[in-house]
A and B are shown apart, each in its own frame.
Chain A
Amino acid sequence: QQQVKQSPQSLIVQKGGISIINCAYENTAFDYFPWYQQFPGKGPALLIAIRPDVSEKKEGRFTISFNKSAKQFSLHIMDSQPGDSATYFCAASITTSGSRLTFGEGTQLTVNP
Chain B
Amino acid sequence: DTAVSQTPKYLVTQMGNDKSIKCEQNLGHDTMYWYKQDSKKFLKIMFSYNNKELIINETVPNRFSPKSPDKAHLNLHINSLELGDSAVYFCASSQVGAGYGYTFGSGTRLTVV
Interface residues, chain A, with chain B CB atoms under 8 Å away: 31-32, 34, 36, 38, 41-46, 49, 51, 87, 89, 93, 95-96, 98-103, 105-106, 108
Contacts and interface: CB of A to CB of B under 8 A. Distances in A.
Contacts of B90: 43-44
B75 interface: no
B14 to A, nearest CB: 24
Contacts, number: 71
A92 to B, nearest CB: 11
8 contacts: A32-B99, A44-B104, A45-B104, A87-B41, A98-B48, A101-B45, A101-B101, A103-B44
Contacts of A95: 97-99
B101 A34 contact: yes
Given A98-B96, A100-B56, A46 B101 contact: yes
A22 B4 CA distance: 29
Dominant SS among interface residues on chain A: strand
Task: Determine the interface band of chain B, counting residues with CB < 8 A from chain A.
Answer: 20 to 34
B105 interface: yes
A96 B97 CA distance: 6
A98 B104 contact: no
Contact of A105 (B40, B56, B101): B40
B21 to A, nearest CB: 13
A108 B104 CA distance: 19
A67 B95 CA distance: 27
Interface in B17-45: 31, 40-45
Interface in B82-113: 90, 92, 94-107
Given A42-B107, A43-B90, A99 B102 contact: yes
